[in-house]
Structure 1
Amino acid sequence: MMIRFLFLIQLFFVTQLSAQQKKITVAKDGSGDFTTVQEAINAVPDSNNAVTIILIKKGIYKEKLRLPESKTNVHMKGEDLNSTILTFDDYAQRKDSTGKEIGTSGSSSFFIFGNNFTAEYITFANAAGPVGQAVAVRITADKARFFHCRFLGFQDTLYTHGNESRQYYFDCYIEGTVDFIFGSSTALFDSCVIYGKKGGYFTAASTPQQKTFGYVFRNCKFTGNAADGSFYLGRPWRPYAKVLIVNSYLSAIVNKKGWDNWGNAANESTTTFAEFGNTGEGAATTERVSWSKSITADEAKQLNTITILSGWDPWR
């Protein structure tokens, strides 16, 4: 029943994209309309009310990409998840042309500002390695959807940047070390694999105080190659961080305490870090920090896609 429900959610989103205005193909061998992804983005009409499909053929596209705010309703679709790779290798301490460090935000391989963005079967990566903050994707846009995508990096892999941004991830793979899913957006992760390397923190939410939801993980798998007990589920980048993990598998790499206050006891009274219905070696809550929360079965039932993502309009 759950699989059918998730399929219907994906079908709903894909059906919304059926009104295609334009189709663009990117191929490194010259067989498409463009050989680079940025050229294809630049060709999208501004203030686009219909969907532009960008089909990306297999290949490693080393580009620092930017989808401007004017490029809306873009749907990127890769030819193959493991072979369609968008990557760059910037990192926070790298200097720009003026000698100034580019910082965490500037390190992103792909900046997404255009609303109603969708991606399928694409790997997004930052190839800088374990050199500190190095973002694979920074999403400021509202109504961003990712189906069957991978996000590869180390520290700060996925930056959910926009305060008013709503994001949906289905059947995605996200890997990293420290704070590798971070930011202020409202984001629902459905049936995703969250893969921890070396040790660190899965999340670092900075949810605005007025927001009902920050990160919600539903039917996900928290696993990795790190040592047992070496990963915390999250810590608050800002005082009102909100993270809910429900009906998910938590492996033995999850620390028994579960959550960290980022060295500030005051965060313990303002954050909302909660769990419900999880399984696995790391799911036991008997040794969780005292300030973490649990939710009831009735509250868990209210955590549907519409409730989490509807916001001020009917998007879901």
Structure 2
Amino acid sequence: MLITVSKEDKADFTRLQEAIDSIPVEYAEAVTIRIRPGIYEEKITIPASAPPILLLGEDSEKTILTWSDNAHTLGLDGEPLGTFRSGTLNVLAEAFTAENVTIRNASGPGTGQAVAAFVDADRAVFRRVRLLGDQDTLYTGKGKQYYSECYIEGDVDYIFGAATVVFDSCHLHNKRSRGYITAASTPEDAAFGYVFLDCKITGAEGVVDVYLGRPWRPYAHVAFIRTSVDGSITPEGWHNWGQPDREATSRYEEFGSFGAGAASGARVSWSRQLSAGEAVDYRIITILDGWHPEGY
């Protein structure tokens, strides 16, 4: 099934949520929703009952999904939404793919937790997607997820959650000094949490003392493999979130980091530099336990 969406009213729908809601209940075949360039100001939910959906934009710079809820925004019930209801795009269905779009939370800096993409589903794929926000930009709730050639920006804990995720050739951009890129909550029995392969880290002008991550929960796992790291990253690299006991369980790893912020000899003692032999095991097919995302 192919559904088209355009702001110019030359398509099946002018609003993305209407297109999603038009999919018949219990429809099981794959659906492609082609989104033409435009700024779509709406809060979007892919329900858990949805079939495999490909959300396909033409140009990520010109196809923008945006909303501005944050944790303090009041919901219809009169209560604050909280972090987990603040998302612009909310993905609850398995086998979802997004390509060539921007997903933005426009709440702004200093407004607290404000999620751009809330992805609480297995086998989610994002390719050439721009994820824009400040605090808590991307939530990865569960399952296995894959992000390829994406641009992700933020300031505090802007990639967070429990899923096993591969970030393949992505660009991470730090917007504020003394921030944190990751806040993983990897389950104790999960072999992998967040794995960044051949990625790039940059900071806005004047941004310094940013940490690669801090453990939202014990047993957090984050690995940066062959990452270009600029001077916005603090030499010690990792933070214990003020809880020294998490130093014993957190699994923070690097291999082949390069650039002004690499500083492997200055990292905290409870992180690890992987050997070449260990880094060989950090392959997409291994990390995702046999799932090959190119099929979606």
What range describes the TM-score normalised by the shorter chain of this pair?
Answer: over 0.9
- Tell me which of 30, 38, 41 is aligned to 1:51: 30
- Tell me which of 21, 40, 44 is aligned to 1:65: 44
- Aligned-pair CA distance for 1:302: 1.1
Name the CA distance, whole Å, in 2 between partners of 1:239 and 1:72: 34
Structure 1 gaps, min length 5: 1-21
Q: Is the 8 A contact 2:175 2:207 kept in 1?
A: no
Q: Is the 8 A contact 2:5 2:34 kept in 1?
A: yes
Q: Is the 8 A contact 1:229 1:256 kept in 2?
A: no
Name the CA distance, whole Å, in 2 between partners of 1:213 and 1:77: 29
Q: Is the 8 A contact 1:186 1:309 kept in 2?
A: yes
The within-5 A match list for 1:177-192 is 177-192=155-170
Amino acid paired to 2:167: F
Aligned Cα root-mean-square deviation (Å): 1.2
User: Counterpart in 1 of 2:136?
Assistant: 156
Q: Is the 8 A contact 2:112 2:135 kept in 1?
A: yes
Name the CA distance, whole Å, in 2 between partners of 1:309 and 1:64: 30
User: Counterpart in 2 of 1:300?
Assistant: 279
Q: Which moved more, 1:215-224 or 1:47-56?
A: 47-56
Does residue 37 (structure 1) correspond to residue 27 (structure 2)? The answer is: no
- Tell me which of 233, 237, 244 is aligned to 1:258: 237
User: Counterpart in 1 of 2:147?
Assistant: 169
User: Counterpart in 2 of 1:234?
Assistant: 213
- Tell me which of 287, 292, 313 is aligned to 2:266: 287
Q: Is the 8 A contact 1:122 1:149 kept in 2?
A: yes
- Aligned-pair CA distance for 1:51: 1.5
- SS of the equivalent of 1:145 reads strand
Name the CA distance, whole Å, in 2 between partners of 1:123 and 1:183: 21
Q: 1 or 2 for the larger relative contact order (CA 8 Å, sep ≥6)?
A: 2
Name the CA distance, whole Å, in 1 between partners of 2:203 and 2:43: 28
Amino acid paired to 1:305: I
- Aligned-pair CA distance for 1:226: 5.2
- SS of the equivalent of 2:2 reads strand
Residue-by-residue CA offset, 1:222-279 (whole Å, 9 max, x unaligned) = 1121535321000000011000000110000000000000000000000000000111
Using the size of structure 2 for normalisation, the TM-score is 0.96
Name the CA distance, whole Å, in 1 between partners of 2:226 and 2:16: 37
Using the size of structure 1 for normalisation, the TM-score is 0.90
- SS of the equivalent of 1:180 reads strand
Q: Is the 8 A contact 1:143 1:315 kept in 2?
A: no
- SS of the equivalent of 1:275 reads strand
Structure 2 gaps, min length 5: none
Q: Is the 8 A contact 1:144 1:166 kept in 2?
A: yes
- Tell me which of 60, 73, 79 is aligned to 1:100: 79
Q: Is the 8 A contact 1:45 1:71 kept in 2?
A: no
Residue-by-residue CA offset, 1:70-119 (whole Å, 9 max, x unaligned) = 11210011121111001100000112233311100011111101110011
Q: Is the 8 A contact 2:50 2:93 kept in 1?
A: yes
Name the CA distance, whole Å, in 2 between partners of 1:35 and 1:228: 39
The within-5 A match list for 1:212-251 is 212-225=191-204, 227=206, 229-251=208-230
